[in-house]
A and B are shown apart, each in its own frame.
Chain A
Amino acid sequence: MSPDGPGNGGKTTALSNLYTVILALALGVVVATAVFVTYKCYFQYDTVFKIP
């Protein structure tokens, strides 16, 4: 995330792989959280979106 990024044209590259890992980890955490919440909802209430 640098000010001199894609505005100058050319090939875009990541500034640091650390940020990518953090983004992947955050995405994984969010997905895992969604799966966990879905699992709990489904097995506790037999539905995901409906109100029993």
Chain B
Amino acid sequence: MLLTLSSIFLCGIVVTYVANADNYREKYTDIRSDWDSLDKKLKAKTNEANEYIKEKQQTEDKLRSEIASLKATAGKLDGDLRDVERERASLLAQVESWTSITKDFYTTNDKQGTLLNNTLDELKRVQAEQIKQRKELNETTAQLVEKMAVVEQLQADNRRLLEERTELQAKLNSFLWPAGEAVAEAVPVTPEKIKVSPVGPTTRQISLKGLVTDVDMENSLVEISIGSADGVKEGMKFYITRGDEFICDILIYDVESEKAVGLLDLVSKQPKAGDNVSTNL
């Protein structure tokens, strides 16, 4: 009896245990499915991460290549910048050179203008003097014509007096010859005038010779090796020759003690240092 009840009791315990036991297979399946899904998600995320890393690597490589290209471009632009700066400095130097040349040109132009004004004043003065001399020449010519008329009148009187003297001598001789005498040669009381002889030339040749020391064709200027110590004066005209060949003329406008500077004129060939300079050809 006791054994029977015990078996029933044990069966109840077994049934209770089995009824309340957990379904580990179902839990395993759930966990396995969760594991599989998580594994798939992990693989997907890993793939995404790998793709992202690959894409980032490609982007990094691309950026590195672009950086290298930009560095090369920057180097090239730096070189170009240095070239442009050098060219700019060269152009500035040229501008300064041209500015100084322009200033010199303006200075020379002013000097030439002053010289031209002085020359025009001199020309006016010479023209006035020429007009005055022409007037005096006309007056002198009129006086000469008048005096020539007087001289002709005097010559006619002289011839008439000579004829009268000859006639009187003939008459007197006709009276004296019977007495054996004759009329002596008349001695004039008034002494004869000394004939006027022409004087020598009133001008003298200035013979200055030198050499060309420097030539500035841009401003048409020439520097010569002789100056005021040798007798060079402003306004003098020199001839530049090379051997027997005429090169050009120069008109002196600035004189120093040992050198002088003149403007080129009648340029047939370009002068150079060493050419001969003289006041006479």
Chain A interface (Cβ within 8 Å of chain B)? Answer: 19, 22-23, 25-26, 29-30, 32-33, 36-37, 40, 44-46, 52
Mask: chain B, 147-178; 1 = CB below 8 Å from A; 0 = not: 00000000000000000000000000000000
Tally of B interface residues using CB under 8 Å:
15
If over half of B's interface residues share one DSSP class (helix, strand or loop), that class is named, otherwise mixed; here it is helix
Name the segment of B20-28, B36-44, B268-276 touching the other chain.
B20-28
With A37-B18, A40-B18, A44-B26 given, name 6 new contacts (CB 8 A): A25-B8, A32-B11, A32-B15, A33-B14, A40-B21, A45-B25
CB-CB under 8 A from B4, the residues of chain A are: 22-23, 25-26
Q: A25-B8, A26-B8 are in contact. Are A52 and B25 (CB under 8 A)?
A: yes
Contact residues in B for A37 (Cβ distance below 8 Å): 14-15, 18
**Given A40-B21, A52-B25, do A29 and B1 touch, yes or no (CB 8 Å)?**
no
A-B contacts at CB below 8 angstroms, number: 37
| Interface residue B47 (Cβ < 8 Å from any Cβ of A) | no
B contact residues vs A (CB 8 Å cutoff): 1, 4-5, 7-8, 11-12, 14-15, 18-19, 21, 23, 25-26
Residue of B nearest to A39 (CB): B18
Contact of A36 among B5, B7, B15, B25 (CB under 8 A): B15
Please give me the residue from chain B that is nearest to A25 by CB atom.
B8
Q: Which residues of A contact B8 (CB under 8 A)?
A: 25-26, 29
Most buried by A among B5, B11, B14: B11
